[in-house]
Amino acid sequence: MPSSTASTRSDLPAAYGPEADAWLQSVAPALLEQVEPWVDAFYAQLRLLEGPANLLALFGEDDFAALARHQAKHLHLLLEPGSRADAVRAASMHAGRLHAMTGVPVAWLVRGTALLQDLMLRGLQRTAQALDVSAREAARLVLGQRLMQDLHDQVVAHQAVEAQQVDTMARLDDLLAHGLAPPDLAAGALDALHELDGMVATTLGRPDADGLLQFEVVRGDGFESYVRRVAQGQAQPVGVQADQAIGASASGLAWRSGQPQHVVSYATDPRIAPWREEARALGICSNVAIPLLDADGQPFAVVDLYAAWPGYFSAPMRRPLLGHVQRSLSLALSRGLAGSRVIPYQSRRLYRTGLESGTLLMLMQPVVDLRNGLPVKCEALARLREAGNGRLIGPAEFLPAFDARQLLLLFELGLQQALAAQRAWAAQGLDLGVSINLPPQGLSDPAFARAVRTQLHSSGVPPARLTLELLESGELGEATVREPLMAQLQQLGVQFAEDDLGSGYSSLLRLDSLAFDEVKIDQGLVRRAALAPQKALDFIRHLARLSQDLNIPVTVEGLETPGLIEAAALLGADCGQGWGVARPMPAADIPAWAADWRLDLDPQQPRTALGAYAAYLLWEAQLGALAPWPDLLHRFVNVPCALGHYLAVQNLQGDALERARQAVLAAAPQGPASPTYSQARNTLRALLAAHVRQANGLPPS
């Protein structure tokens, strides 16, 4: 044994190493035998303190036994002579992280260390009676230094957990600042939260029509397995309705209350009995459900966080994080998720796996020139072929499930098929262009521009035969990135079309700020033309006039009937597209369709009720333009009009429609602003609307 002089305060023994091992060699065996009683006494004293007692009450019997074993193992490491400083430090850091994750404040660590030190000193006093005073003092100093180093390392680790939480909130802020699409933002946020120490799983879910919570974004392999078992009927789902037995979860309570809800301990909370064994298998001990709220304060989604330790989310240090998650994600995701279709996690996996495994099929829908009837291009429309039954899944189903990476892959694969189709048509003597949708991030991510350049080069398709249709939904990103990328592609010869003009205010802003080669009027504006013809036809007429005033050709989408085709042509649209022209079809079928396609239109002799209504609206507009010149107005009224021709062909000369038309002609010389004309015009419009409804098999309004 080292000489007694080694234990003087001017020459303290090291906490670890040969000298410390020598001082502990004689006392360690007896001290190690007392570890289990010390642990029992340690927790017995903690239970006398309100805060620690409340925390310990969260542990189930098995969880507490595991905690006690961990404490005993840690004490063994501190007492054993052969312990290495780096191994003990790693264990202490781990213990500090665990204490932080279970909500133990630093003050409790200090108090707990004092309790352990007292237990050790009393044990040492009884054990080391045979040692001289200096040897006993040296052993005491070694153990004291080890305890103080242990406390220091635990505090450092505890502070690191707190710092990690601050970093996570900063990561969330950074994601928000990038203006990501909802799938990317949700995925990035859950990734950041899942990386927190002690987190088992993170999810975002919304209830379906049956009140079952569908987890749409999931992080955590074990939880993904649980979601698959739920879909297969092998595990208990989570509900949100109060009258459901499965509605008592934190998620269901959060959805109904609009407030975050905690499961502090899965071992002791009776509400989660339906999921207790499943949670135990996944290593889940606590949970918080955070409802995301729309502008009216109503939940539209729930973020669930699951941790490996009881009390994880109820610790005061977690409150800033939980509040930040609710505020930031509510604001950022409400526009993209609130009211949108719920897509279960399994469906999302199906769509993404299908895209990556080659089930993408691009169907082609022709676009025709409404002035000469010739086909000019085809729009490539994405479909995913479902494994097993071969069902074709449309973009309305799968696009909301795709993040930025999958949208890029979809664009690359779709462009490849579209250009191959164009090349095949050209080889058969059919010179058609091809268009494909470009997601909004396509003008802020250079990868899309690279894909266009690369595939145009490899396919040999002239750039002018490719049109990129910019989708209305989403933001376009910074002009400093967007405009150079768009300019590069336009200099190459690629055409740009604004898709869905009129579907939102931002589409009109884009028409003003971006150099489009074509605009496409949203089919939603014409879909209800048979029900409200005046409104639909006015939209077509005014938007077509707006675009043509900017010298941009106009295509009307959604032309599903001969009447819509005729009306769009009469109102000045350049091109048309829709089921009335042709349904989407495989690329190989386009040449045969083109050989058979004919468009027979005469603006002066409309053949459909909707076409006649459109012709009348044009007549009204011309009448208004001639109002300042009475002589011209009088002559114009006496010229045969397209509506009169239609009524004659339909044998409606004695009908109320013809009488209303004659009343308009009689009142027209008084000018469009006269009360007599206004009354006659309104009567004729109402009768024309009723006639359109009748011609389309609809009941009178």
Residue that is last in its domain, among 164, 198, 226: 164
pLDDT value at residue 294: 93
Q: What is the CATH number of the domain that holds 40?
A: 1.10.490.10
Asked if 75 and 205 sit in the same domain, the reply is no
461-509 tens-digit pLDDT: 999 999 999 875 545 444 444 567 888 888 999 999 988 664 444 455 5
> Is the model more confident about 14 or about 690?
690
Average pLDDT over residues 417-432: 97
Indicate whether 349 belongs to any domain: no
Read off the DSSP letter of residue 212: B
By DSSP bridging, strand 375-385 and strand 261-263 are unpaired
Could you tell me which of 516, 518, 507, 520 has the C-alpha nearest to residue 476?
507
Residue that is last in its domain, among 135, 164, 193: 164
> Is the model more confident about 168 or about 311?
168
Indicate whether 388 belongs to any domain: no
343-358 tens-digit pLDDT: 999 899 899 999 999 9
Q: What is the CATH number of the domain that holds 505?
A: 3.20.20.450
Indicate whether 15 belongs to any domain: yes
Asked if 562 and 660 sit in the same domain, the reply is no
Which range of 6-15, 303-312, 408-417, 643-652 scores highest in mean pLDDT? It is 408-417
At 200, the pLDDT band (50, 70, 90 cuts) reads very high
pLDDT value at residue 476: 47
Q: Which helix (H) or strand (E) holds 61?
A: helix 61-79
Indicate whether 463 belongs to any domain: yes
* Average per-residue pLDDT for the chain: 88
Which range of 128-137, 262-271, 280-289 scores highest in mean pLDDT? It is 280-289
Average pLDDT over residues 621-637: 88
Asked if 84 and 129 sit in the same domain, the reply is yes
Asked if 496 and 574 sit in the same domain, the reply is yes
Query: Tokens in use for 93?
Result: 């850091």
At 456, the pLDDT band (50, 70, 90 cuts) reads very high
Indicate whether 170 belongs to any domain: no
Asked if 588 and 613 sit in the same domain, the reply is no
pLDDT value at residue 130: 60
Q: Which amino acid is at 343?
A: I
Q: What is the CATH number of the domain that holds 249?
A: 3.30.450.40
Indicate whether 355 belongs to any domain: no
Asked if 421 and 561 sit in the same domain, the reply is yes
Identify the three-state secondary structure at position 428: coil
At 534, the pLDDT band (50, 70, 90 cuts) reads confident
Residue 577 belongs to what domain range?
364-380+403-595
Tell me the percentage of the chain whose pLDDT exceeds 90.
53
At 97, the pLDDT band (50, 70, 90 cuts) reads confident
Average pLDDT over residues 532-543: 85
Asked if 560 and 435 sit in the same domain, the reply is yes
Asked if 24 and 155 sit in the same domain, the reply is yes
Asked if 230 and 146 sit in the same domain, the reply is no
Indicate whether 601 belongs to any domain: no
Residue that is last in its domain, among 535, 565, 595: 595
pTM: 0.77
Asked if 206 and 305 sit in the same domain, the reply is yes
The total number of structural domains that make up the chain: 4
Indicate whether 700 belongs to any domain: no
Q: Which segment of 35-39, 169-173, 556-560 scores lowest on mean pLDDT?
A: 35-39
Q: Which helix (H) or strand (E) holds 130?
A: none
Burial 433-457 (b: 16+ CB within 10 A, else e): bbbbbbbbbbbbbeebbebbeebbe
Asked if 642 and 569 sit in the same domain, the reply is no
Q: Which residue has the tokens 């239109």?
A: 601
2-60 tens-digit pLDDT: 444 334 444 556 889 898 888 888 888 888 888 888 888 888 888 888 878 877 777 77
C-alpha to C-alpha distances, 87 to 16, 36, 96, 214, 682, nearest whole angstrom = 11, 22, 14, 44, 90
Which residues are paired to 459 by β-bridges? none
Asked if 554 and 645 sit in the same domain, the reply is no
pLDDT value at residue 512: 56
